Copies of this chain bind each other. A is one copy, B any other.
Amino acid sequence: MNDTVLTPTKILDTAEDVLRRFGPTKTTVVDVARALGVSHGSVYRHFASKAELRNAVAERWLLRVSDPLEEFATAKGPALDRLHRWFHALMTSKRQKVGADPEMFATYSALASESGDVIAEHIAHLQGQIARILQDGIDAREIAPMDAGATAQAIFRATSFYHHPMHATAWSDPGIDRSFEALWRLLVKGLMPR
């Protein structure tokens, strides 16, 4: 490949392919450069270190989770319905990813868990979406007055079992949806005005 057409997106696409073949521990910047047909110096012009490249791969993967959820955060309609659909979309997305390619899911989860700042930003992003829905509900008196940000964190953590990659082995339980709905009913009652 000619260096002049080397873009961050092309590097990330190739890095994903290489990660898929070699795994996260064995993949090096040189492997990625070789797969692109460029020198490793060319890759380093876009990503200053292996850590930076790994973080960028993890970040892009996490954006594929959070971006499609944005529509529920900005939609019209009752806040609790939007929040329910937001959680279902999040859980469906995570389960599809682990179902489609469990190894790659594990690889990305490992990558992401090593990229502390990237993960923190992702979680802040998701909790921000929840907080916006909650605030709409509070403004519409559909939800009791409360601190939307703190409550967003509380219910995001309360649902960890259903969306945190560390709990992925539990998601194949056929009772998982019923279990989430049992929690959802409690949370809805907790959120509604008296």
- Enumerate chain A interface residues (CB-CB to B < 8 A): 147, 150-151, 153-155, 157-162, 164, 166-167, 178-179, 182-183, 185-191
Contacts and interface: CB of A to CB of B under 8 A. Distances in A.
Given A158-B159, A158-B161, A161-B157, A190 B186 contact: yes
B153 A179 contact: yes
Contacts of A178: 150
Contacts of A153: 179, 182
Contacts of A186: 151, 154-155, 158, 186-187, 190-191
A132 to B, nearest CB: 18
A183 B161 contact: no
A81 B189 CA distance: 19
A100 to B, nearest CB: 23
17 contacts: A147-B182, A150-B179, A151-B186, A153-B179, A154-B179, A154-B186, A155-B183, A155-B186, A157-B161, A157-B183, A158-B158, A158-B186, A160-B160, A160-B167, A164-B167, A186-B186, A189-B189
A147 B182 CA distance: 10
Contacts of A187: 158, 186-187, 190
A178 to B, nearest CB: 8
Contacts of A179: 150, 153-154, 157
Contacts of A162: 157
